[in-house]
Chains A and B, each alone.
Chain A
Amino acid sequence: MTSALLDSLRKGNRLALSRVLSQVENGTEAGLTALDELFLETGTAQKIGITGPPGSGKSTLVNALARELRQRQPDKKVAIIAVDPSSPFTGGALLGDRVRMLDLQDDKQIFIRSMASRGALGGLAEQTEALSQVFDAAGYGFILIETVGAGQSEVDVVNLAHTTIVVDTPGTGDDIQSIKAGILEIADILVVNKADRPGADQSVTHLRNMVEMGYARSINNGKHHLEDFQENSEHKTTSAHWVPPILKTVACEFTGIQELTDAILTHAAHLRQSGQWHAKDQAAIRANIRHQLIAGLLSDFNQNVPVEMIDSLIEQAQKRAISPNEAVRVLLTYNRNNSLESSE
């Protein structure tokens, strides 16, 4: 079924696209095969991450942005991946981001896909990157990725987006909040949404102070904050020159959206000129492989090592007969020996 489905996807059939997205999201055999093929056709889309606390207006902002991007560049299709959390208890999810995106329903060049996080903790779902690759291969020029409502450390989106927008609202904290490590550090563009509310200018000031401190530091050290997240050495030398703009928006009234769109397009141009577009792409692939490798190793481990053995070692540690450290060493040794035997 896969090759016929992929052919229709390439011809722009949206039902085929939707079906492939499901296969990939569910990690089926067909989905994995499709992705192997489609990945080779990726690399052209601009991926834009939108993150921020719950209720800060991410979905409404995405709605406004998608419309503006379509007007500016009518030849480019826009994909939206909107991630909402799954219940840790039932595994169910209520995906409500479409409610804020009703302005986009008439435009067939916009494709909105809701995703449940399915237990992943970094603000995205396990397969969000894979879905973005499908959209990329299907010829979507802009891919907007909206994270779950993020707190301080759900920063996975930075590993896959070219441009990361962090959305905040007035009155969410003092200047100490804004110099803490975490989510604010990953921003290429900072947005104070709901800027018609009191305290917007103060929020902008806090953020500006933070950005300026960071910028001064990066000049002094010749370093940039992103290197904490990305191990690619190319990235370090080229990333110091973009200072995140701080923009005020009222997304539900489309106020400030022009300026935000300008910033996104300028950032893309900056990335291309400075060579960072390529560097980010390379870093994303590296991070993706490492991530999948860890997941794969864990799954191998679970296959190689009997649950009873794990439980018994846990029990011994609980009785303080051995240390947790030793339990882990025993398990890893068993796993290594066992996988060697099975491959011989």
Chain B
Amino acid sequence: MTEKKIRVLIAKPGLDGHDRGAKVVARALRDDGMEVIYTGLRQTPEMIAEAALQEDVDVVGLSILSGAHNALVPQVIADLRANGQTDVVLFLGGIIPEDDIQTLLEQGVYKIYGPGTDTREVCKDIREAVKSKA
């Protein structure tokens, strides 16, 4: 009946207050026809997992510029799994040093985007990931 919309949660875990990147991505996904739930600044991993659960999202996008990604991202993944949401696609944007990228990908992050990423690339990746999941 209705076309299945891709639902994405965009969240900023941790304490840095730079949400411009998150908003730009949220807007780009919206313009690509997705339904984007934006939760705002200073979220704990638990809050993010809780919002993902209530919204039954296909995708969670995290924006981290504080350097705390090695602490925050595994915790978000653990909380999502603890809630039973094992099939959520998780992507990450922000300032992530080269050395950490491989580790985070191994822990279950789908893609990591740095500054200057073309948002069309993000949209395309997300569509592919959701499609291959279904």
Contact = CB atoms under 8 A, between A and B. Distances in A.
Nearest to B31: A90
A114 to B, nearest CB: 5
Contacts, number: 80
Contact of A95 (B27, B36, B53, B83): B36
B6 to A, nearest CB: 9
Most buried by A among B1, B7, B47, B50: B1
A92 B35 contact: yes
B56 A19 contact: yes
Contact of B2 (A15, A21, A27): A27
A78 interface: no
Contacts of B54: 14, 18, 111-113
Main secondary structure of the interface of A (DSSP, over half): mixed
Contact of A92 (B32, B55, B83): B32
Range, interface on chain B: 20 to 34
A105 B51 contact: yes
Interface stretch (B37-45, B61-69, B93-101, B103-111): B37-45
Given A18-B56, A22-B56, A95 B35 contact: yes
A116 interface: yes
Nearest to A126: B2
A272 B4 CA distance: 40
27 contacts: A15-B83, A15-B84, A15-B85, A18-B53, A19-B56, A21-B56, A22-B7, A22-B56, A25-B2, A26-B2, A27-B1, A92-B34, A92-B36, A93-B30, A94-B30, A95-B36, A95-B37, A98-B37, A98-B38, A98-B40, A98-B51, A113-B54, A113-B55, A114-B55, A116-B5, A116-B35, A126-B2
Given A91-B33, A102-B40, A102-B47, 14 more contacts: A26-B4, A92-B32, A93-B35, A94-B27, A94-B36, A95-B36, A95-B38, A98-B39, A99-B39, A99-B40, A105-B51, A113-B54, A116-B5, A118-B5
Interface of B: 1-2, 4-5, 7, 26-27, 29-40, 47, 50-51, 53-56, 83-85
